[in-house]
């Protein structure tokens, strides 16, 4: 049997690594071009493939009532390398799937290096890939190197958009005062690999909270430059921006005090709670949950040491700012992620306008499967829109409906998004056994369960269909 020509992939991050795996698994050779360590990005610190640049969490692993948990499950069923490596190197994190970042990245790198159909080249692709490469996937992420970013902009006529994401600080465990803080997961949820006591909780009374908010508001921030004056992505707001939106906002966001009780003072209800999540397998580093910030580094240390339990905190890494690069995909890409003006090029990962590690890997998984199908002479089959994979792809390639004042039917003001049930086709709320309609929270939860059941059933059909096609 003659082997098909290789698919080239530029970028060995979450998306590029997953795409390479899917293509090689289908029996098609891959050449993966990764610029690290030849050239660094502003955020990566290693030369490992699939490096996690900030948090070590893949977020909720609840496949029944959480859309990213459902996406985890769909990817597992589709043979995802990212999920297999994440599962193999998880660290306790309540209901979330968090991983030891170094072991995770090492596992992805080793699996790809060991695959006979994968060639890894450590080099920067400093411009558009040459035409004679044929089918190529661009998975260069939010920190695409400038030469390639400019070339993509030149080709598409669309300039990339930059906006803030913010990194949360990481604290050394042995500098946390466990005489004040205590370990507990919210509502004692154990989740995968957890114990129900996976987070470190730092309680605040009303006075401490008010003083903390004052300090946050007064703290010196990194100054805005012109390119930074773009809207924040709501899922990743810096805490001082949340505080600016209202003094109570943090108490209803990352500092909410619900589902947690200090065992030493069970009768005292904290006014607010700061949570830290384990960041490495050793348990020596802890990540301040939801504390993305653009405060200046000196200010961060001063202000965060006001938090009870963190008075002597030593920071392994302070929070920071970073940019994001993404396409106006609904306009530029076709239904299988190919660039309309040059279909040889396919895009994957965060550059397509998804948001998050898992979503980036999921779009890599899809791009890989589509490219492999084409290389084998088959028509790529997109997943059903009822699945999390299909919902995410729909967001990227379908975009949202035009709002008033925009050109009718034209996707505009496209914003990156995490997977969420709002992207799925609606479903009738199930009724009780005796046919009564559900209400309130019960109705919401049961709808999510029904969407998840529908998604997994449709995913299994899609996977068996593509497997049958491959066997023909
Ligand atoms: C600073 C920062 C923090 C983030 N924090 C989180 C978080 O906590 N949780 C979360 O879920 N998501 C986070 N994200 C968003 C996103 O999930 C990650 O960026 C994710 O890694 C995106 O996956 P990707 O594969 O698209 O890109 P990446 O994982 O960034 O992979 C792209 C790869 O392409 C390489 N590359 C770039 N240009 C070239 C070129 N010209 N030639 C060759 N190689 C090239 C890069 O070196 C990199 O390895 C963060 C993003 C940033 C920038």
What CA–CA distance (Å, rounded) separates 39 from 47?
10
The average pLDDT across 202-215 equals 98
As for ligand 1, residues whose beta carbon falls within 6 Å of it are 10-16, 33-36, 41, 43-44, 53-55, 124-125, 139-145, 148, 165, 167, 322, 349-351, 356-357, 360
Tell me the two tokens of residue 304: 């965060």
pLDDT greater than 80 at residue 400 = no
Chain segment 277-316, per-residue pLDDT in tens = 887 766 777 989 989 888 998 999 999 999 999 999 988 7
pLDDT of 223 reads 65
Q: Is residue 363 classed exposed, middle or buried when 0-12, 13-18 and 19+ CB atoms within 10 A define those classes?
A: buried
Q: Full-prediction pTM beyond 0.85?
A: no
228 three-class SS: helix
Give, to the nearest 10 degrees, the angle between helix 297-304 and helix 206-218: 170
Q: Is the peptide bond before 295 cis (omega within 30 degrees of 0)?
A: no
Q: Is residue 224 very low, low, confident or very high in pLDDT (cuts 50, 70, 90)? A: low
Q: Which residues contact 52 (CB under 8 A, 6 or more apart)?
A: 99, 101, 104, 105, 357
Q: Which atom of ligand 1 is nearest to the CA of 55?
A: 8
Q: Which residues contact 440 (CB under 8 A, 6 or more apart)?
A: none
The average pLDDT across 136-144 equals 95
pLDDT of 255 reads 97
**Torsions phi, psi for 36 (to 5 deg):** -75, 145
pLDDT greater than 90 at residue 410 = no
pLDDT of 315 reads 87
Q: Is residue 401 very low, low, confident or very high in pLDDT (cuts 50, 70, 90)? A: very low
Which residues in 170-206 are b (16+ Cβ under 10 Å) and which e? Answer: bbebeebeeebbbbbbbeebebbbbebbbbbbbbbee
Task: Find the range with the poorest average confidence among 83-97, 199-213, 289-303, 446-460.
Answer: 289-303
Q: Which atom of ligand 1 is nearest to the CA of 363?
A: 26
User: DSSP secondary-structure letter at 93?
Assistant: -
Q: Is residue 166 very low, low, confident or very high in pLDDT (cuts 50, 70, 90)? A: low
Q: What angle do CA 398, 399, 403 make, to 5 degrees?
A: 130
Alpha helices in 251-355 (DSSP H): 297-304, 329-332
Q: Which of the pair, 468 or 33, is modelled with greater confidence?
A: 33
Q: What percent of the chain has pLDDT over 70?
A: 89
Q: Which of the pair, 415 or 59, is modelled with greater confidence?
A: 59
Q: Which residues contact 248 (CB under 8 A, 6 or more apart)?
A: none
Q: Is residue 432 very low, low, confident or very high in pLDDT (cuts 50, 70, 90)? A: confident
Chain segment 338-389, per-residue pLDDT in tens = 999 999 999 999 999 888 999 999 999 999 999 999 999 999 999 999 999 9
Q: In terms of Cα–Cα distance, which of 330, 352, 338 is closest to 142?
A: 352
In the predicted model, what is the mean pLDDT of the chain?
88
Whole-number Å distance, alpha carbon 187 to ligand 1 midpoint, is 33
Pocket test for ligand 1, best of 11, 41, 133, 170 (most atoms within 8 A of CB): 11
Task: Indicate which residue's Cα is closest to atom 29 of ligand 1.
Answer: 13
Task: Find the range with the poorest average confidence among 115-129, 180-194, 403-417, 427-441.
Answer: 403-417
Whole-number Å distance, alpha carbon 122 to ligand 1 midpoint, is 16
The average pLDDT across 437-459 equals 91
pLDDT greater than 60 at residue 176 = yes
The average pLDDT across 63-82 equals 97
Q: Report the side by side order of strands in the sheet with 182-183.
A: 182-183, 199-204, 272-278, 285-288, 170-172, 315-317
pLDDT greater than 80 at residue 160 = no
pLDDT of 233 reads 52
Whole-number Å distance, alpha carbon 160 to ligand 1 midpoint, is 15
pLDDT of 452 reads 98
């Amino acid at each position: 049997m003659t082997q098909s020509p290789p698919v080239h992939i530029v970028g060995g991050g979450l998306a590029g690594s997953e795409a390479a795996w899917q293509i090689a698994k289908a029996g098609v050779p891959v050449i993966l071009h990764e610029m690290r360590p030849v050239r660094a990005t502003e955020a990566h610190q290693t030369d490992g493939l699939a490096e996690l640049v900030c948090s070590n969490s893949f977020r909720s692993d609840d496949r029944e009532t959480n859309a990213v948990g459902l996406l985890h499950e769909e990817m597992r069923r589709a043979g995802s390398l990212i999920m297999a490596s994440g599962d193999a190197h998880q660290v306790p994190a309540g209901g979330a799937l968090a991983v030891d970042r170094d072991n995770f990245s090492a596992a992805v790198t080793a699996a790809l290096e060991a695959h006979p159909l994968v060639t890894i080249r450590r080099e920067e692709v400093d411009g558009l890939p040459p035409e004679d490469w044929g089918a190529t996937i661009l998975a260069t992420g939010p920190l695409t190197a400038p030469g390639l970013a400019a070339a993509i902009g030149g080709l598409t006529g669309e300039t990339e958009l930059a906006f803030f994401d913010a990194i949360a600080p990481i604290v050394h465990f042995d500098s946390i005062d466990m005489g004040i803080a205590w370990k507990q997961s919210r509502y004692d949820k154990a989740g995968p690999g957890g114990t129900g006591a996976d987070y470190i909780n730092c309680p605040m009374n009303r006075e401490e909270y008010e003083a903390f908010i004052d300090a946050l508001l007064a703290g010196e921030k990194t100054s805005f430059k012109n390119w930074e004056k773009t809207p924040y992505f709501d899922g990743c707001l810096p805490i001082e921006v949340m505080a600016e939106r209202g003094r109570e906002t943090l108490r209803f966001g990352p500092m909410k005090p619900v589902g947690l009780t200090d065992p030493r003072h069970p009768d005292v209800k904290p006014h607010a709670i700061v949570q830290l999540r384990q960041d490495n397998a050793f348990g020596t580093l802890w990540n301040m949950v939801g504390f993305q910030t653009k405060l200046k580094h000196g200010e961060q240390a001063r202000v965060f040491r006001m938090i009870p339990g963190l008075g002597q905190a030593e920071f392994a890494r302070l929070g920071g700012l970073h940019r994001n690069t993404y396409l106006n995909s609904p306009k530029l890409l076709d239904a299988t992620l190919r660039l309309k003006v040059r279909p040889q090029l396919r895009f994957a990962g965060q550059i397509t306008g998804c948001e998050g590690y898992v979503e980036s890997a999921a779009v890599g998984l899809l791009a890989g499967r589509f490219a492999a199908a084409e290389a084998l002479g088959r028509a790529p089959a997109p997943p059903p829109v009822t699945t999390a994979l299909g919902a995410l792809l729909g967001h990227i390639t379908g975009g949202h409906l035009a709002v008033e004042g925009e050109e009718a039917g034209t996707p505009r003001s496209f914003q990156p998004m995490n997977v969420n049930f709002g992207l799925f086709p609606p479903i009738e709320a199930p009724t009780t056994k005796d046919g009564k309609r559900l209400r309130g929270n019960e109705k919401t939860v049961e709808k999510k369960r029904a969407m998840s059941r529908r998604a997994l059933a449709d995913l299994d059909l899609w996977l068996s269909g593509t497997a049958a096609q491959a066997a023909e």
